[in-house]
Amino acid sequence: MRRFLALIVPWRRFFLIERPISGCACLMLQATLLGWLPAALWSRAALRQHARDRRIQRRIARDLAFRASASARPPRARQAAAAWTIRPGLDRPWK
């Protein structure tokens, strides 16, 4: 549905992903018949970039939460977890 809206009303997608200046520029571009296609393509590209940025932010937050929980483990659990990590030069996580 987002992709469809990005093609039909491209300027609105910019406002929904919190890029109002780009939304105004896209609206002016969309006002002309020749500018509709570039505006739609620009909106789709911006939507993909926004989704990629959100995905990266979620991964960073998940990684930080994992590191915080790993540092809260008791020392023996940390040693056991460290023993099962992949060592340089080995392609298997065995001891």
pLDDT class for 80, splitting at 50, 70, 90?
A: low
pTM of the full predicted structure? 0.59
Q: Residue 24: name the closest of 9, 36, 38, 14 by CA.
A: 14
pLDDT of residue 55: 92
Give the residue-averaged pLDDT of 17-33: 86
DSSP characters over the chain: -HHHHHHHSHHHHHHHTT-HHHHHHHHHHHTSSTTHHHHHHHHHHHHHHHHHHHHHHHHHHHHHHHHHHHHTS-HHHHHHHHHTSPPTT-SS---
pLDDT digits (tens, 9 = 90+) for 59-76: 888 888 777 776 665 555
pLDDT digits (tens, 9 = 90+) for 32-67: 888 888 888 888 888 889 889 999 999 888 888 777
pLDDT class for 12, splitting at 50, 70, 90?
A: confident
Give the residue-averaged pLDDT of 16-20: 83
Alpha carbon 50 to chain centroid, angstroms: 6
CA distance 10 to 43: 5
pLDDT of residue 30: 85
